[in-house]
Structure 1
């Protein structure tokens, strides 16, 4: 049997970590290859790691043909849906996969719409557009990835503006998606420097970026020179309220920072 490996297809999904690969290798050595490798013709679609381990150790395996594929886009969509259903996939990975799915589906819809518009007479254009499939919304993509719409937006920002080192840190769980999105707004060299500084430095930089986004609060206007006693009293109370409000906001920030740190510490266990 001839099995062809497409390197782009192999790299389409994030590779297993060393620990995950070792665990899969132990499983195959003890239990054999129970799941069939998925092929499209002679092209290997699913099972690259199993195929590599089986080849190395001489472990027998079975294959199955997927007859539904008509194009490489079909292959990519199948791979995305297959991995989105796995519990071991992180929120960041699911977000990236869901965004890839949105790109493919949106491109298909645009192409199909263009073909219909060119084939239909001018008078039928409106009817064709009204009957077209809706483009995937951000909310629908977020549901596919099982994350919030806000988190999906952060993942999209990381995908577009984050340095490779920062992306690797997110994938490794060194920094949260929320914090990474904040750091990703910095120039590339500052992102790389923050990653080099380790987890503590990344958290501090992310906190500084968030705090820099908060607009300064206006100072209360001073009382007029001929202010009455009541006006002076109101001014003092206004200053006191502003001070208490500032202290409250600082406490809220500390609680938020501690909550993020606790979530990241639990995620690293």
Structure 2
């Protein structure tokens, strides 16, 4: 059997970790290759790791054709949906895959609209065939979040990481060495500082993220209306005498930053719990 390995398809999804690959190899050696490899013609679409292990050890395997593939974009969408349905995929990977799906569907909608416009110009509308529209695009952050089973806030943070994070920071997120929330904060730093934070390990990454949040919090000066409302609630329009520059005047920005950090962490935890409940709901349906 002639099977072609397309390098672009092989690396389209993040590869297994060494530990995951070793576990798969032990399973195939013990039980054989139970799942068929998915082909598009002679091109391997799904099962690159199984194919490599079976060839290495001379183990037989089955193949199956997917007749629905009409283009490489169809293959990409199928691969994305397969991995979005797996529990072992991390939240970061889910977000990246959902954003890829959004780009593919958006391009299809644009192409379909252009084809429809050209047809309407050439053929009278009464006899023109109806357009064949692609699936609904993921044209909002909320739609992307639903597809990835994560929060819209997490999607926003992943977009920021993709745009501004150094490769070392992206690798740290994929490896689980830093949370998506913290990585998005560190991604605001210059590349050199990001790399240095990653080299310092988990504690250094957490400290860098905390410093970024505190710096942002300290630059947010209270609005006059907020200050007036605070003064009125205390029964006076004058600043309290006890809050001098040497006392609360210095400590309050740090306190606000600390509270903001706590709120951010609670929101992130809440988002993770919501995503987990959604996943449990899907599996129980």
Q: TM-score range by the shorter chain?
A: 0.7 to 0.9
Give secondary structure in 2 for the equivalent of 1:165. Answer: helix
Q: Which residue number in structure 1 is paired with residue 2 of structure 2?
A: 2
Q: Which residue number in structure 1 is paired with residue 259 of structure 2?
A: 252
1:144 is aligned to 2:147: yes
Q: Which residue number in structure 1 is paired with residue 230 of structure 2?
A: none
Residue 118 of structure 1: how far off its partner (Å): 2.1
Return 180-189 or 39-48, whichever deviates more: 180-189
- Structure 2 gaps of 5+ residues are 225-235, 271-285
Q: Which residue number in structure 2 is paired with residue 113 of structure 1?
A: 113
Structure-2 change in CA distance of 1:30 and 1:146 (3 Å): same
Give secondary structure in 2 for the equivalent of 1:39. Answer: strand
2-structure distance, mates of 1:133, 1:67:
18
Structure-2 change in CA distance of 1:211 and 1:119 (3 Å): same
Which among 168, 171, 184 is matched to residue 165 of structure 1? 168
Structure-2 change in CA distance of 1:255 and 1:134 (3 Å): closer
1-structure distance, mates of 2:220, 2:84:
42
TM-score, normalised relative to structure 1? 0.82
2-structure distance, mates of 1:200, 1:140:
34
Which among 183, 186, 208 is matched to residue 183 of structure 1? 186
Q: Which residue number in structure 2 is paired with residue 44 of structure 1?
A: 44
Residue 121 of structure 1: how far off its partner (Å): 3.5
Give secondary structure in 2 for the equivalent of 1:15. Answer: coil
Q: Which residue number in structure 1 is paired with residue 208 of structure 2?
A: 205
1-structure distance, mates of 2:264, 2:206:
9
Structure-2 change in CA distance of 1:218 and 1:74 (3 Å): closer
Residue 235 of structure 1: how far off its partner (Å): 3.1
Residue 43 of structure 1: how far off its partner (Å): 0.2
Q: Which residue number in structure 2 is paired with residue 14 of structure 1?
A: 14
Give secondary structure in 1 for the equivalent of 2:44. Answer: strand
For 1:123-156, what per-residue CA distance to the aligned partner results, in whole angstroms no more than 9, with x for missing partners? 97xxx99x99754221111100001111001001
Residue 218 of structure 1: how far off its partner (Å): 5.3
Q: Is the 8 Å Cα contact of residues 113 and 132 (structure 1) preserved in structure 2?
A: no
Count the aligned residue pairs: 247
Q: Which residue number in structure 2 is paired with residue 35 of structure 1?
A: 35
TM-score, normalised relative to structure 2? 0.77
Structure-2 change in CA distance of 1:213 and 1:74 (3 Å): same
Give secondary structure in 1 for the equivalent of 2:173. Answer: helix
Q: Is the 8 Å Cα contact of residues 105 and 135 (structure 2) preserved in structure 1?
A: no
2-structure distance, mates of 1:218, 1:26:
60
Give secondary structure in 1 for the equivalent of 2:95. Answer: helix
